[in-house]
Amino acid sequence: MPTTTTITKVTVIGLGPMGTAMADALLDQGYDVTVWNRTASRADALVARGAHLAPGVGEALAANELVVLSLTDYAAMYDLLGPVEDRLQGRVLVNLSSDTPEEARKAARWAADRGAVQLTGGVTVPPSGIGRPESSTFYSGPREVFERHRPVLEAITGTTDHRGEDPGLAALFYQIGMTMFWTSMLSYWQATALARANGLTASDILGHAVDTANSLPGFLAFYAERIDAGRHSGDVDRLAMGMASVEHVLHTHADAGVDTALPAAVAALFRRGMDAGGATQSFSGLVELMGK
Ligand code: NDP
């Protein structure tokens, strides 16, 4: 049974909106927090609240065993920690910067070669969700290290979801979420542009947009089972019907003089499914096409 360590001191490197919220949450919960940021002035408010500003990134590493990294990407980590890599021995790097699963695996090996351990994190909430019990973060990496430091991780977001030992898994879950987030939000901007071209405001369509988004969980659950069973039969929907529908969407945008890049890309995918012989199958069959 892994044991939990009562760590009271934490370093946070990277004080963008996320790192700042994390350092704030740790201070709120009584941790002794050392911070460092490339642009030092971003630490001012935290220092006023009792955080220690390390004079350099090496000193920030030396200050504590547990080091939270909240940087734009993993390249920023190499920029920062590369020159002080001799300070990494014995450190636990909780890397909450986002990047690809492959970058997360590479960084875990890089850290291990320098005597440190990386826990990869994928935070699923914006800065306003940091420090809140209902917020959640994916983690992956050594389970024992995760369990040992769970209280600190729970101070950052109340729910911690360890997905496995592979350091790439937390990044993969994060990227799965972001795949849906960016395209869903883009579809909302697209719908709003169409509404505005027709004299409606974002507020006018908000209720309809929310109802549409709220209808999606039922579709996801329905199709997940069938996809896992390899079943794409056209008993509920057929790709040929979808093809006609997405073309109506495309033409509605073209008629209104709205950018058609997104609806055209959707129609092109449906067309490839049709060309592959999927007309009488469900549009869920596109998942097989995309997987190739
Ligand atoms: P920002 O990109 O705004 O800030 C990240 C930090 O990285 C800053 O402190 C910045 O320093 C530092 N940084 C970037 N490049 C370098 C470099 N080459 N050398 C040194 N320092 C560098 O990100 P956020 O705080 O918004 O987010 C942090 C991470 O969390 C990102 O990976 C993001 O994808 C992820 N995330 C963000 C969410 C959000 O809503 N903001 C939600 C979920 C995840 P400086 O201040 O000097 O510019």
Distance 99 CA to ligand 1 centre (A): 11
Domain membership flag for residue 109: yes
208 in the same domain as 121: no
d(CA 276, CA 242): 15
Structure tokens at 117: 């351990």
Among 11, 12, 15, 18, say which to mutate for ligand 1: greatest number of ligand atoms within 8 Å of CB: 18
Domain membership flag for residue 260: yes
134 in the same domain as 47: yes
Domain membership flag for residue 189: no
Residue nearest to atom 12 of ligand 1 (CA): 71
202 in the same domain as 63: no
Distance 78 CA to ligand 1 centre (A): 14
Which residue, chain included where needed, has tokens 């929907």? Answer: 237
Query: Which CATH number covers residue 252?
Result: 1.10.1040.10
Residue nearest to atom 21 of ligand 1 (CA): 38
155 in the same domain as 28: yes
104 lines ligand 1 (CB under 6 A): no
240 in the same domain as 145: no
d(CA 138, CA 164): 10
208 lines ligand 1 (CB under 6 A): no
Domain limits at 153? Answer: 9-172
Q: Please state whether 33 falls in left (phi above 0), alpha (psi between -120 and 50) or beta.
A: beta
Q: Please identify, among 135, 157, 172, the residue that sits at the C-terminal boundary of a domain.
A: 172
82 lines ligand 1 (CB under 6 A): no
130 lines ligand 1 (CB under 6 A): no
d(CA 89, CA 182): 38
Question: Is 157 in contact with 137 (CB distance < 8 Å)?
Answer: yes
Instruction: Give the pLDDT confidence score for residue 4 in this predicted structure.
Output: 66
Distance 20 CA to ligand 1 centre (A): 10
203 in the same domain as 78: no
Residues 6+ apart with CB under 8 A from 177: 122, 124
- What is the tally of structural domains in the chain? 2
Q: Please identify, among 156, 172, 188, the residue that sits at the C-terminal boundary of a domain.
A: 172
Domain membership flag for residue 262: yes
Largest CA distance in the chain: 66
Does the pTM of the predicted model rise above 0.75? yes
Domain membership flag for residue 185: no
Running DSSP on this structure, what letter comes out for residue 117?
A: E
204 in the same domain as 270: yes
Instruction: Give the pLDDT confidence score for residue 1 in this predicted structure.
Output: 46
Distance 147 CA to ligand 1 centre (A): 26
124 in the same domain as 27: yes
Which residue, chain included where needed, has tokens 């450190």? Answer: 91
Taking only the tens of pLDDT, the chain with its 292 residues reads: 456 667 799 999 999 999 999 999 999 999 999 999 999 999 999 999 999 999 999 999 999 999 999 999 999 999 999 999 999 999 999 999 999 999 999 999 999 999 999 999 999 999 999 999 999 999 999 999 999 999 999 999 999 999 999 999 999 999 999 999 999 999 999 999 999 999 999 999 999 999 999 999 999 999 999 999 999 999 999 999 999 999 999 999 999 999 999 999 999 999 999 999 999 999 999 999 999 7
Domain membership flag for residue 3: no
205 in the same domain as 276: yes
Query: Which CATH number covers residue 142?
Result: 3.40.50.720
Instruction: Give the pLDDT confidence score for residue 6 in this predicted structure.
Output: 73
Residues 6+ apart with CB under 8 A from 219: none
50 in the same domain as 138: yes
Among 71, 103, 128, 181, say which to mutate for ligand 1: greatest number of ligand atoms within 8 Å of CB: 71
37 lines ligand 1 (CB under 6 A): yes
Segment (H or E) for 271: helix 261-275
Domain membership flag for residue 272: yes
167 in the same domain as 41: yes
Domain membership flag for residue 190: no
CA distances from 121 to 24, 97, 136, 171, 222 (A): 18, 7, 10, 7, 30
157 in the same domain as 92: yes
